[in-house]
Structure 1
């Protein structure tokens, strides 16, 4: 049993470490307005405190993930008593926090691993306020990352941040348009000022402006290229100085539209094809800095894909036809689980790859390969072209 006095300094310290800087936890006036006599030691504070006590007693362990149920608040000047109990060999530890009267304040479970304390990694995820980005942010929060949540709408961003924190994770929100290079520079400065290095960059931000080429406007073309392709460049270039010293991972979202083309999406297809060239180039360029870069072509039901899929469902239903298998997609959480496992792999050669993720179906795509080579000039080539189907 470990006994700890709750002080104002301790509340501020753990609020700062975990990012749980809500006024009720650190400002006396905000706490009084909420009905408490002093700033309360709430969820994230209690989790951070419990972990610090456990790790002080078990220096060869590090905490992979944890969850805690919070029963009531604590205020300054009271005591919390923590006890720990192994519940699955050395891999899980139950924690209980009680006050001096023995009333339970919080209960939880830590997943622990031998091997010394491993510092938390920081992941910056663009377009993380909804859809696939949100699912990835929640997954990495569960996996012990400090998550920098980017998006365009503050309310959505902070809803994700709060969800991560409520689940025992560490997160902070950063509102910025990735199509604006100065905004990206400022965002990276803020993330690194908060967390130091950036270990993982996931460029998930995206938009759609679908129209056939002859009808597409210049702003519709530029908007999609700016977010998907230019945004990837701006983020990578500005993150590299904070990733190169220790190495890291970069994940970019591509699409089968970039691999095979998609009618009515010439802007989107071009942007996603550009992502592939970026991945294959930077895989070689960044290898010496121990930075891996890979691309994922996800197929998942999200706010962005739902209108297209619903339109196609209606279209095929009216024809009494089944929806093509290509459009029978998985969930955003399937992509998030793949990302979590991909980042756990320690293979330095796992770089420059393109993976398709559709539910439980995982595909590895390869670089384009030559399918017809003729020595003899243009005439011989087009003669061979005319007979190509006969040889297949």
Structure 2
């Protein structure tokens, strides 16, 4: 379908989705983007049902623009005490250094997959768009979402995943390149060798499926947005570029890390991307963030890390103690490879800047 029909899919004036970013944003960022014509997104994977409804109400009170609610669709494995203890062995020196007692309990399962109980709560609000990460809910639950009239889009990191999603009735595909910040949406394979840069992935998916495709990963300016649409995307999804915006909830430590990493990238002959890496140590699934002490010393991809989301438990304890000392040694500093795209401006300014050379002319309608 190439670069057609973004308005039919998203209901927006601009072909841009503000990527849902759990932990660093709430409805404020979504509202700011929506008010200038983009699709605002609320990340729901770490929120309680009551918190999700509060965010929806805040958005609806501020604007009548379309809203995207994003959910995880991972399979929640049983908690494994042995795996947790094995992971603790690798982290003992850090607990000792920080002088804190360890809690080996089941914490970290706050990232819950989408389910009927959540659907019960959000059904009355009929969100215009629902996006899924890590695959899709079961057939019955997916049909229930579509019965609301909601458009369903989902992340694919390979052509095989895009074909899987297409066969199950999604309305659009988010082609998530390896440059993207935060968690990889991969769900058919755990092999990182399958992961492609956005441009290559976009071309494969745009040619391989007959659905609108949204480009995600490394897009931080209007030139990248235009290039993606010229390669077949109907719209772009942008996340990391908003991390320094006024309406983002990015912590001060995270903001400092981004600014330092951006300066380091500008001074490197290799170009952007050298300061980020994929890591599983903070959650148990591969996600891209700024390299910090934990990633350097433990290794970005550590086989000891418990399955998602249970790796979060112990790292969260180290994070809390370290951040209390003003350090981000154990913080997940999620950010895409294009760090220099992050700018200290309003989200409205960022959204409009992203579209400067990609007007919503007939080519994109």
Q: How would you bin the TM-score normalised by the shorter chain? A: 0.3 to 0.5
Which has the higher Rg, Structure 1 or Structure 2? 1
Q: Which has the higher strand share?
A: 1
TM-score (norm 2): 0.34
